[in-house]
Copies of this chain bind each other. A is one copy, B any other.
C-alpha cells in the first residue's frame, strides 16, 4: 500500500511519463504512436510504459501486433487521497472546490 504510493509517485515524477498520461487522456494509443512526438528512442518509451503499467496508471492490451495503451485513472485515487490529507491545512480553496463540484454535477447528470 505504501509501496503502491512509492511506484505511483515515482512514475509521476518524470515529465515524459506525465506527458504520456496526458496524451492517453485523449484516447487509447499504440506504443509507436505514443513514441511519435518524443525525441527519445522507442525502447525508452517502451520502458516508460512499463513503469506506468507497473504503477497501475495504464494498462496495455496486445491486439494483433500492436499493443494498446489505456489510461487507468483509478490508480491515481490512492495518491490523490493521500495528498488530500494535507489539504486541511490549506486555506480553503474555493476555486478547486467549485471546479470539483462542477465536474461532479456535470458527470452525474
Contacts and interface: CB of A to CB of B under 8 A. Distances in A.
A81 B80 CA distance: 10
Q: Is the interface of A mostly helix, strand, loop or mixed?
A: helix
A81 B84 CA distance: 11
Contacts of A73: 86-87, 89-90
Contacts of A108: 92
Copies of this polypeptide in the complex? 2
A96 interface: yes
Contacts of A82: 18
B93 A87 contact: no
5 contacts: A9-B10, A13-B13, A76-B86, A77-B90, A97-B104
Interface of A: 2-3, 5-6, 9-10, 12-15, 18, 21-22, 25, 71, 73-74, 76-77, 79-90, 92-93, 96-97, 99-100, 103-104, 107-108
